[in-house]
Amino acid sequence: MKGSIQKKGDIYYLVLSIGQNPETRKWKTRWIRSGTDKALAEEALAHLLVEQERDKFLDPEKITVKEFLTRWLANHVEPSVRESTYESYKWTVETFVTPYIGSIELKALSPLHLQDLLGRLRKRKPALSKTMLHYVYAVLRGALNRAVKWRLILNNPILAVDAPKTEKFRSSSYTPELLSSLLLAAKSTPLHLPIMLAATCGLRRGECCGLRWQDVALDRGLMFVRNSLNRVAGKLKSQPVKTQRSERSIRLPEAVITLLTALKPIQTAEKLEAGPLYQKLDYVWAYDNGTPHDPTFLSHAFLKLLRSEKLPLIRFHDLRHTHATMLLLEHVPVKTISERLGHSSTLITQDLYSHVLPEMQLEAANAMDRILLTPPMKKTDESTMAEPTPIAKFLRTKISKAKKKRNKMLAAKRSKIKLPQSVPPDDTHQHTSQIISDHENHIIA
């Protein structure tokens, strides 16, 4: 197939030669409207020609939603995201999209089709959560945006459909007392290490399972989070962490350094005992043969521990939220917390833990009271009152001087006031008070 770009008025068109008529021997062409941007038109033409070279070209007039989404997943999503993300997109498309609208031609896909799809998913059994429904919407929006860029459709029909509402996420977390009880209960179990890593360093479960000794510098008290262990297509795989900001270094608390220092010789002994059967994979939290733990096993085992100890049920991931909440209440800067958690922005941290902010606002107000004024005392006995702060003393001195100056000005005004002769003697005091009051108001103003 050959192709070129033609301009009519302000609009660029992709002109594709799609074959020769055997009867007339004339070449058949198809014109595809691109838009006013020549660079985008050239990009779209190059994409279509490459597809033809791979024998994968589909006529934009005939391609179905299923065919397009299959192509989008293979040519755009898979090369650009982590394998686990690709599997998530693929599963979402195959489960919630193509069974319902896959046979519709892409060019005929309308906002009504998509609104109907979301309505059917809401009534699906088992019911989809609001979060999952919004995820389906987001996947489709991204796919159809790509269809617009590839000039397969002129506009994205899902933009005319309101996005499903999601409930604002509010994290669960333990109090310091509950966390102490949990750590005490886990001390004699294999879960002690991952619980410590999540609660004191803010690691995700995949990061706990994927941590290697080569990423731990005990002599410097540092840990480098670079990999995450995840189950992808039924197999455990070590992958780079989600984003560039997720790759981070974390200063280790002394309790974690002590725990890891004690673990090293234990693993060395297990390695000697297992001999050639030991898997030299370098995982920190591993079975006695060196193989890593499954993140799914970690979640299930964690809930089992909570039930056996009659502790409030939370997810393993909520230990990460516990870590962040406790640091916020200890007035650790949000930027530092965001860096420990590996968030791409401090805005994410602030949004996730906004429920902690009202309590911090109260503490901020109390702090200003302590700075500017004497802290409020429950007892009014002078012998028990706290010594005023230097700033409070300074403010009181300034206020006292201002009052004295004002009183002098009022006295001077009073001495210059002359009563009018027409005022009756009985009303003199009342009239004088009114004149003085007027002058005072003028001075205050």
Lowest mean pLDDT among 7-16, 65-74, 205-214: 7-16
Q: What is the dihedral of CA 120, 124, 128, 134, to 10 degrees?
A: -10
Structure tokens belonging to residue 225: 């989070």
Residues of the chain with CATH 1.10.443.10: 176-356
- Please check whether residue 313 is in contact with residue 221, taking contact to mean a CB–CB distance below 8 angstroms: no
Highest mean pLDDT among 39-48, 95-104, 236-245: 95-104
In this predicted structure, the answer to whether residue 141 has a pLDDT above a threshold of 60 is yes
pLDDT for position 315:
94
Question: What pLDDT digit, counting tens, does each position of 17-30 carry?
Answer: 766 666 666 667 77
The pTM of this model reads 0.63
Instruction: In whole angstroms, give the CA distance from residue 353 to residue 393.
Output: 38
pLDDT exceeds 50 at position 415: yes
User: Residues 53, 3: contact at Cβ < 8 Å?
Assistant: no
CATH number belonging to the domain at 176-356, selected among 1.10.443.10, 1.20.59.10, 3.40.50.720, 3.20.20.70: 1.10.443.10
* Residue 422 in this model has a pLDDT that exceeds 60: no
Max Cα separation, the chain? 126
**More reliable by pLDDT, 339 or 359:** 339
Q: What is the four-CA torsion angle of 240, 243, 247, 250, rounded to 10 degrees? A: -130
Distances (CA, A) of 322 to 78, 276, 308: 34, 41, 21
Q: What is the pLDDT of residues 76-125, one digit of tens each?
A: 999 988 888 899 999 999 999 999 999 999 999 999 999 999 999 999 88
- pLDDT of 362 strictly over 80: no
Place of tokens 């189950």: 231
Which residue ranges does the chain devote to CATH 1.10.150.130? 58-167
User: Residues 143-148: what's their mean pLDDT?
Assistant: 94
Please give the class, per CATH, of domain 58-167: mainly alpha
343/340 Cα distance (integer angstroms): 8
The pLDDT assigned to 343 comes to: 86
Cα–Cα distance measured from residue 150 to residue 108, given in angstroms and rounded to the nearest whole number: 16
- Measured distance CA(179)–CA(176) in Å, rounded: 5
pLDDT at 303 over 70: yes
Does residue 231 carry a pLDDT above 90? Answer: no
pLDDT at 339 over 50: yes
Cα–Cα dist 114/350, whole Å = 34
| More confident site: 384 or 367 | 367
Please state, for a pLDDT cut of 90, what percent of the chain lies above it: 47
- Please, are residues 119 and 113 in contact by the beta-carbon 8 Å criterion? no
Rounded to the nearest 5 percent, the helix, strand and coil shares of the chain are: 55, 10, 30
The pairing of strands 248-251 and 11-20 is unpaired
Query: Among candidates 106, 34, 44, which has minimal Cα distance to 70?
Result: 106
More confident residue, 16 or 159: 159
Cβ neighbours for 29, distance < 8 A, ≥ 6 positions apart: 15, 16, 17, 18
